[in-house]
Amino acid sequence: MGLTKQYLAYKPVSSFNIIASARANISFVTISNATGRYVVVAAAEKVLVWDLRIGEKVAEFCRDKQEVTFLRTSPDQKHLAVGYSDGLVELFSVETKQSVCSFASHRSAVSALNFDLLGLKLVSGGLDNDLVVSDVVEQSGRCRLTGHTAPITQCCFMQRFQDVVVSSSKDTQIKFWNIETQCCFKTIVDHRTEVWGIVLMRNDDFLVCGTADTQLSVYKITPITDATVPVVVASEQPESESTVSPFRCTAAGSIQRAGHGRTINLVADANGQVLGCHGTDRQIELFLFCSPEESMKKLTKRMKKLDTNKQSAEESASRQLALTDEIKRLTSIPTPEKVKSFDLLLGSRNELRICCTFVKNFVQLFSLDLNVKKDAEPETLYALQKQGHPSEARTVAFSSDNLAIASGSAESLKLWSRASQTVLRTVDTGGYVVSTCFVPGDRHVLVGLKTGQLLVVDVVPGEVIECIEAHEKELWSIVLTPDKHGCVSGGGDTTVKFWSFELIAASGGQDAAKVLSLLHKNTLKLEETVLSVRISQNGKYIAVALLDTTVKIFFMDSLKFYLSLYGHKLPVVTMDISYDSTLIITGSADRTIKIWGMDFGDCHRSLLAHDNTVTAVQFIPNTHMFFSCAKDGKLKQWDADSFQKIITLPGHLGEAHALAISPNGKYVVSCGSDRTLRLFHRTEEPLVLQDVQEEEREELENATLATGEESTVPGLPGLKLPSKKTIGSEKGAENILECLEVSKQYEEEGGKGPLPPLMFAYSATNTDDFLLTVLSRIRASDLEESLLLLPFNAVCELLERVPKLTTERKDQTELICKVVLFLFRVHQKPIVNNQVLLPVIQKIVQTLQAAVGELRDMVGTNFHAAQMLQRELEENDGCVLFRDATKQRIQRDRRRKRREASKRKLLQIVK
């Protein structure tokens, strides 16, 4: 075997610059019993928890490379449900930051999530038009609700009516679903445009929905009881409605919003008292839903003003309550930018906190005191703004000591610490930054703007010390000369300009400290727009990439023409020259990278490197290896000698705009359209190209399921499982089949020989334990899909083992019941028609019923024994173990109100 070249692996360190993604929502979260201080936001594929008081990141939840699309915290604040763009819902523990379980629910991105009142069930809506109800305790899907014909915009559980889900969609409909029957029992079709959001207010008394117009529709929900007299309306059928629906939903009116454009978001606090909404303008409108007592007071006051008899007012109160009596408009909150999402939190002292995310990558927390009756002014408490660029970073550069990173965006330049990934300086450039470069000594940064200006930025004070009108159009490229005494800039005005560094005296006179300045030395005029400039390390040549798809190389000293590199079909966007000045690489908009020789200008190899425009290429210092990034979001490492791809790094979710490699070659940083800066470092782990290629091939194979996307069973065309087929379910089915095969072979040999290696690996001593271990190791959300993939002969073999399993392993009764019931439901017809399975089924029914009865008896005995012990302890100690905290709070509130009333009376007497 010949010698192979060894490469060292680059691994991701972290991603930074992003404060909050614009696609997902924001939510308050309680950590260490602190409420209203922490918020959880999405940051590309991560979920971050920010402490707004100190402005720092305190926690991070990670999964693989999928964008976060929706967040929701559980009512007890112990779990966080995260929906992703691939349709998967992950449930994290807030305390441990680890994943508790995952639900493969949807075939496309998750667009809505909500817990029920106790946090035991989770409903999710997706862009695939479906709703999926999942059981958090069982960690598996419960049912799939299909009926909407457009993506789901919002879904939630009703509190007063058990197992009822309300959903809204872009198909203009609002549907009410019963989880038990898995059907829609009521549909509201009053709207002509998309319903963008719904929210239930005041313990399910009201349903508010927002559409594409400037009004919020309000529906009154009243329970249907035997005493309720149905009101006959021409457009309704109360007889049929009362038999199916447990409540009546009638239009109560509409709320006119002050803002313009469609309603984007509707959010209510946990108790359903305060409603917040925002449209396409820069304000959040707030409405307070009064309690029934306050509404009655407002009604009687209104009736008094109309000179109506008090008695008649009280008699007709229930019929004449208007929306103006029940809903009060609060002070609107003006925002600095268009709101992307927000969340509300109503404190115990009637302080309303509103936390907002904006498109420009910042978070702001507002406070509003509801105790102030009139003209309550909102107050800005905290803002997270300096931790990232307001817009996408377009260029990055490393300092010569490898410790600092400079990144430029549409309005600013930021300097970052490479070690901690925190912001060191923020400089307002006043223009769009398209190129950056550190000056030798790392005290200054050169910044090229889209307007053609060249800025000299002093790092220490973080100020622009000089602005030079370098070019008439975009300044696309800045590069230092090899002797470090000057720089060269290339612009859209078809010129390449040569500059030298000079220290000039400041305005304070001769004794003042000298500042850096640039002196224009020479200009190279060309025929086309200059897109990139590079100088060879030996100082002999200067290469210029032009808009006419060619790269022209000139002698550095005389600026005479030397070579022309042509072969790209589209313009060359980026290029670099190796440390020994022998190779030049060019990246083009035609998706290819070409490797050329500097001596004769011959093309050594053309690589179809990416799926979109190549945006940056750069050699690793002192090597012939280089990195490239493109608009497909990927970062790739290449070898320019062997023309092989070494590795593909986890890149950006959108486009990758630029990359920079540290002078020591240990670090790589890139920026992209997902607003993240991603840092990678070189490890000491060696790479074998064959192994890397094999891993990439396996990833591609795993991305496409071997058994197809559809979960269909012959004879059951309408099977709607609350899960989708995943790689985990396919592996689970393979493990079950392998287990049955190994067990059958072992039993045929008499079961006396040495244990099969697979059984030994599962630490099983017999075939029954082996089967139960395999079944229990399949993820709960994948179990049904795995059983669905089994052929019928394997199902029969599995059912034949159930009676023995039930009698010998009563600790696994729940798992066995789940497997048997699902197989009976799916394969009912073949099982009924198979006479051989008849005695097996009879035995299964007998043993399972006995096992379930025994389990229920044990649970009931333990429950009542615990109750009896509780009563005995309470009698002996004379105290209540679990007292009702709400009663104590009500009594405390009453005492406080009495004290306040007595204080008011005393004040009146003194006066």
Look up residue 515 and give its two tokens. Answer: 């500042």
pLDDT (0 to 100) of residue 226: 57
pLDDT at 238: 41
DSSP string covering 117-182: TTSSEEEEEETTSEEEEEETTTTEEEEEEE--SS-EEEEEE-SSSTTEEEEEETTS-EEEEETTTT
CA angle 591, 596, 602 (to 5 degrees): 120
Long-range contacts of 443-450 (CB under 8 A, 24+ apart): 443/516, 444/516, 445/397, 445/406, 445/413, 445/415, 446/478, 446/487, 447/408, 447/413, 448/474, 448/475, 448/476, 448/477, 448/478, 448/489, 449/474, 449/475, 450/474, 450/475
Q: Which residues are 530's β-sheet partners?
A: 546
| pLDDT value, residue 48 | 95
| Separation CA 663–CA 423 (nearest Å) | 21
Q: Which of 279, 387, 388 is nearest to 340 (CA)?
A: 279
Cα–Cα distance between 782 and 363 in angstroms, integer?
38
Residues 63-96 have pLDDT tens digits of 888 999 999 999 999 999 999 999 999 999 999 9
Tokens in use for 754? Answer: 């040495």
Sheet arrangement for strand 164-169: 152-157, 164-169, 174-178, 183-188
Q: What element of type H or E holds 676?
A: none
Distances, alpha carbon 811 to alpha carbons 268, 321, 806, 854, in Å: 44, 58, 9, 11
Contact (Cβ atoms closer than 8 angstroms) between residue 249 and residue 221:
yes
Instruction: Give the CA distances from residue 9 to residues 223, 281, 626, 628, in Å, rounded to whole numbers and listed in that order.
Output: 64, 48, 13, 16
The predicted structure's pLDDT at residue 377 = 86
Phi (first) and psi of residue 864, to 5 degrees: -70, -30
Residue with tokens 């509409």: 254
* Amino acid in position 130: D
Alpha helices by DSSP H, listed for 33-102, are: none
pLDDT of residue 810: 84
Q: What is the pTM of this model?
A: 0.85
Burial of 42 (0-12, 13-18, 19+ CB in 10 A): buried
- The list of the chain residues with pLDDT below 70 reads 1-4, 226-243, 307-320, 373, 507-512, 706-718, 878-886, 900-911
What single string gives the DSSP state of each residue in 807-831?
HH-GGGHHHHHHHHHHHHHHTHHHH
**Alpha-carbon gap, residue 83 to 66, rounded angstroms:** 10
